Structure 1
Amino acid sequence: MNAAVSRSDDVLKVHRLVHAGGSTALLEWLASHLGGWVGVVDAEAEHGPAPEAAVRGAAELGARGVRSAVLHGADRATLLFALDGRRVLAAVLEQPHHPGAPALLADAAVPLDLVLRAEEAGRREERVRRAEAQVREAVLHLLMNGQLSTAHQISATLGPELPDPMRMYVVECPPGRRGEVMRICRELTGGRAWIVRCPVYVRHLIVLAPPDPAAVPATGDPLAEALVAAAPECAVGVSGEAGLSEAPAAYTQAFHALAVARASGDGHARFGPGPELALAAYEAGVRWAEALLAPLHAHAPRRPQDPGAQELRATAHAWLNFTSRATRLLKIHRNTLTARLRLIEALLGLDLARLADQAALSLALRLTSETGAGAGPGAGAGAGTGDDASGAAPGLDDVLRDPRLTDWARTHLSALTGPDAPPGARDTVRAWLAHDAQLLPAAAALGVSVPGVRKRLTRIEALLERSLLQSPSARHDLWLAHRAEDLAGCHKPQKG
């Protein structure tokens, strides 16, 4: 009777361990309880270091085609029980071994077999989940680089179809809840949205959803409202309606709107209306942009492993948007990023430590495509400042003098001097831009603390409805707007 009670207790213990700790917990308890080595041996791959007797015994069990066996040695016994496939539960015990060992191992074999299969299925499911996440991220990369046809082909294998037109949402989730918010978003959109975990910001989801006919400025955005209602700790930024070909601009809009949403009592915000720089500058600036980027577009790598023109362009775009975090987006080492940036600087004659040259490159990338390699001469040193000795293409200052750019600049900066602007808003922004958007020298120039400048810029973010302190930042457009105003004679020119 005592033996029966002991065996039933052991069986209960086995099942509890399987449910609570899986195969590892069960095998560790069996080894401790029986006072020997207990493990799973595979004919093709060992599950952990196994004694030679266990490996040899597992091979013999398979060769004989039996379900269990005991092999006796001089001072040890090897107990073997076949599991699913080619796996074997083996125990190597000193003689004399625990009298209940054979029964206990036989009782443990079935639940162990089941939990091993469940763990294997879980690992396969996790691999599939990671693969799907990587494919979705790859589709996002393709959209951001203008490769719509390939993006459509790949996305069709997963579904749903990429919405075109669409609105882009950047959802900032509480730590550890991105998966839950992703599920909520799928339910709210009826599975029609393309949802991607942001490769740069670990708390962000990027959502491409078909436009809702009810999403008019007067009533807000139904999806953003529903997301915040379902997950109140979230903040949601929403782009304007856009085609898939406008995905990069839509992401920037949604990211700027997110900066407003954080400070909003509603927890969500739509990108504010206003003229787009690329539209205002295209006619006057496309020739300048093609000339500036011609050396990059014409670049041919010396070795197969070196980056080509497309990779360098993607690197420049990623770095301008995300600075050092671009390594996460591009999946490269920080030293590789630094080397590529140095090559871009050498090709274009720019100093990317200067905000002026960053702004020039940012605008040029927006005005051209990856295939814009048919540019004429005139790029290189001084291209970002308008010093083009050949006269073959205009300089940046020539572009910014265009009346359309002057109008854009005045509209873009009008909020800084409007009735809702905090005191000194224009001076704060000018000092920040004059010091390459660095807080420490800007604070010294303004005679305030670094936290003081940060607070001022945070208030100005809400005023402009643009992100300043987090990338993608509006600092490049702000520099260009101030430069255009200076050239129009509205203000004294500041040094770039």
Structure 2
Amino acid sequence: MNGETRARRAEDILEIQRSARHGGTRKLLTWLSTRSGASVLLVNSSDNATSPSLSPLAAHSRELVLRGVRDIAQRGLRSASIDHEGLTCVVLPLDGAPGLTVPLLAAVASSPAPPGLAHLLADATHAMSLSWLAEHTQRQRKRLNTAEAGNREAVLHLLMNGHTGVARQIAGALQPELPERVRVYVIEGPPTARARVAQDVTEEDVDAWIVPCPVYTGHTLVLAPARDGIQGDAAQTWMSRRLVAETCRIGESDDVPLRDTATGYAQAFHALAVARHRCSRRSSFTWRPDLALTIGPAATLWANAFLLPLRTHTPRRAQDPDRAELLATVASWLTFAAGATAHLKIHRNTLAARLAHIETLLGLDLDRLGDQAALALALRAMAEPDQSADATGTAGVEHRAAAPTLDQLLLSPHVEAWARTQFRPVMPAPCGLPPNLTDTLTTWLRHDARVGPTAAALSLSASAVRKRLARVEALLERSLLRPPSAVHDLWLAQRVLGLGSFPSGRAG
């Protein structure tokens, strides 16, 4: 080998290293093909003729490469070179750890082969091996992360649907175990910032669960063990990190029992709606009385009667959704609206069919906000399945007849006080809020929380209505325009106070 050849080979090795560092296997293969004038590719170590990496080759070249692969596998060779019908094929295996199946580097060129082709491929095998191994490791890590996220999302899904026992069993296998009481955080921000948050939370609190939100791609959920009433930075120092404080918005729930994770999520989501309007970019949930608790045991009696056709439903066919699936579906839809398809991992047509079935069973029109609100209240007040008497036949009719109506539940001084608490932040006052905010809110509720009809009724543009409702969100400290929304409680509060004129329908 003369000096000029050695210098050229040294330059090639340097270029091989640069290509591998800056572009990995793809760029290195492209450079080798350009440098040698041959078709250079990676091929699986098996003799599977359907290997996708061989698809760009003509049939004759393809067969020649597979022949070289078989020779190396069967005879234990470190390289193979074949000349056949005007073509030259060179195949070399890459380096790999024991037990790891690695591909082979192959080149096909017209005979005679380009000068130095075998040496060029041999010089490239080390860099190609390292690049392939790094890419393989990255792919494996991505698969593991995807599987981990899927498993954690499954646990979250079980918690949101009240299946606490099963969730705890799965979480015990995944680690960490779920605590008895949790505080839920909803973190909104760019992917890089949320990834850093997940890393900081993992380092700071090994017992916390970090779950990508299955509905909103820009949200990450953190389920942290309750901290005995400690709020904000005193409980979680990761919220004070500069990257988090400057790029993310955070909503924080109260401490809730694990079985009430869905409630904690709704609280954190409402707090996030407030955080969007604060310079601190953080907010904790401000507690207000729950209507079902305010009404008391009568709410459970009404809810069990209201939901009786659904709770006693038996599907006609084995593949039809049962009562548990229907209850989970309507609960998800009332919480996430169209996002229920992502939450439940079902097609939108499946969601529509289940909702239509529920409408038929309960005699509701779920396009009407009043029926939605009644159903949402019933689901909150419903007794646990093992605590309720799911009567059927004549007993079921008598059970429903003895239950109060929704209007009867709402005719109570305690409920009226609850309703006034809901509306107090947006009620006009001397030198206070402009009345148009209250008018916009009540009109929006009267038009089933639809922006278009509300805008027409107020002679405003849709964007103006949304801006007013965003202002109302900040005052109420509740989410309105994005689910989970406080719209159902507000409709019920407005019905109690008589601020609107509603047809009674099924909700009455």
Question: Alignment partner for residue 223 of structure 2, among 187, 192, 208?
Answer: 208
Structure 2 gap segments, 5+ residues each: none
Separation of aligned partners in 2, 1:30 and 1:439 = 60
Q: Which residue does the alignment assign to 1:391?
A: 401
Q: Which residue does the alignment assign to 2:491?
A: 479
Separation of aligned partners in 1, 2:244 and 2:192 = 16
Separation of aligned partners in 2, 1:376 and 1:250 = 32
Q: Please say if residues 193 and 244 of structure 2, whose CA atoms lie closer than 8 Å, have aligned partners that are also in contact.
A: no
Separation of aligned partners in 2, 1:99 and 1:216 = 72
SS at match of 2:53: coil
Q: Which residue does the alignment assign to 1:447?
A: 459
Identity of paired residues, percent? 44
Q: Which residue does the alignment assign to 1:404?
A: 414
Q: Output the amino acid matched with 2:491.
A: W
Q: Please say if residues 494 and 500 of structure 2, whose CA atoms lie closer than 8 Å, have aligned partners that are also in contact.
A: no
1:87-126 to structure 2, matched below 5 A, reads: 87-126=103-142
Deviation for aligned residue 1:307: 1.8
How many residues get paired? 483
SS at match of 1:299: coil
Deviation for aligned residue 1:256: 0.7
SS at match of 1:67: coil
Deviation for aligned residue 1:325: 1.5
Question: Alignment partner for residue 65 of structure 1, among 68, 72, 76?
Answer: 76
Question: 2:440 aligned with 1:428, yes or no?
Answer: yes
Report the TM-score when normalising by structure 2. Answer: 0.89
Separation of aligned partners in 1, 2:102 and 2:139 = 19
Structure 1 gap segments, 5+ residues each: 380-387
1:265-284 to structure 2, matched below 5 A, reads: 265-284=279-298
Deviation for aligned residue 1:201: 0.7
Q: Output the amino acid matched with 2:82.
A: L
Relative to structure 2, which stretch is displaced further, 4-13 or 109-118?
A: 109-118
SS at match of 1:91: strand
Going from structure 1 to structure 2, the CA distance change for 1:390 and 1:195 (only over 3 Å counts) comes to: closer
Q: Output the amino acid matched with 2:322.
A: G
Q: Please say if residues 469 and 480 of structure 2, whose CA atoms lie closer than 8 Å, have aligned partners that are also in contact.
A: yes
Going from structure 1 to structure 2, the CA distance change for 1:204 and 1:391 (only over 3 Å counts) comes to: same
Q: Which residue does the alignment assign to 2:305?
A: 291
Q: Which residue does the alignment assign to 1:77?
A: 88
1:343-354 to structure 2, matched below 5 A, reads: 343-354=357-368
Q: Which residue does the alignment assign to 2:53?
A: 48
Q: Which residue does the alignment assign to 1:319?
A: 333
SS at match of 2:276: helix
Report the TM-score when normalising by structure 1. Answer: 0.91
Going from structure 1 to structure 2, the CA distance change for 1:390 and 1:146 (only over 3 Å counts) comes to: closer
SS at match of 2:435: coil
Q: Please say if residues 428 and 435 of structure 2, whose CA atoms lie closer than 8 Å, have aligned partners that are also in contact.
A: no
Q: Please say if residues 78 and 93 of structure 2, whose CA atoms lie closer than 8 Å, have aligned partners that are also in contact.
A: yes
Separation of aligned partners in 2, 1:142 and 1:348 = 25
Deviation for aligned residue 1:247: 0.9
Relative to structure 2, which stretch is displaced further, 111-120 or 263-272?
A: 111-120
Question: 2:24 aligned with 1:22, yes or no?
Answer: yes
Q: Output the amino acid matched with 1:331.
A: K
Relative to structure 2, which stretch is displaced further, 46-55 or 471-480?
A: 46-55
Q: Which residue does the alignment assign to 2:259?
A: 245
Question: 2:200 aligned with 1:153, yes or no?
Answer: no
Could you list the per-position Cα deviations for residues 436-480 of structure 1 after superposition, in whole angstroms to 9, with x for gaps in the alignment? 001121122223322222222111111111111111111100011
Deviation for aligned residue 1:274: 1.7
Separation of aligned partners in 1, 2:35 and 2:183 = 61
Q: Which residue does the alignment assign to 1:128?
A: 144
Separation of aligned partners in 1, 2:151 and 2:309 = 32
Relative to structure 2, which stretch is displaced further, 440-449 or 149-158?
A: 440-449
Q: Which residue does the alignment assign to 1:382?
A: none
Could you list the per-position Cα deviations for residues 193-244 of structure 1 after superposition, in whole angstroms to 9, with x for gaps in the alignment? 1111101111111111123357259x98655752577441211111111111
Q: Which residue does the alignment assign to 1:305?
A: 319
Relative to structure 2, which stretch is displaced further, 414-423 or 249-258?
A: 414-423
Q: Please say if residues 170 and 205 of structure 1, whose CA atoms lie closer than 8 Å, have aligned partners that are also in contact.
A: yes
Q: Please say if residues 83 and 111 of structure 2, whose CA atoms lie closer than 8 Å, have aligned partners that are also in contact.
A: no
Deviation for aligned residue 1:494: 3.6
Deviation for aligned residue 1:159: 2.2
SS at match of 2:195: helix
User: What RMSD in Å do the two structures reach over aligned CA positions?
Assistant: 2.5
Q: Which residue does the alignment assign to 2:271?
A: 257
Going from structure 1 to structure 2, the CA distance change for 1:390 and 1:190 (only over 3 Å counts) comes to: closer
SS at match of 1:242: strand
SS at match of 1:161: coil
Q: Please say if residues 228 and 235 of structure 1, whose CA atoms lie closer than 8 Å, have aligned partners that are also in contact.
A: no
Q: Output the amino acid matched with 1:404.
A: H
Q: Which residue does the alignment assign to 1:460?
A: 472
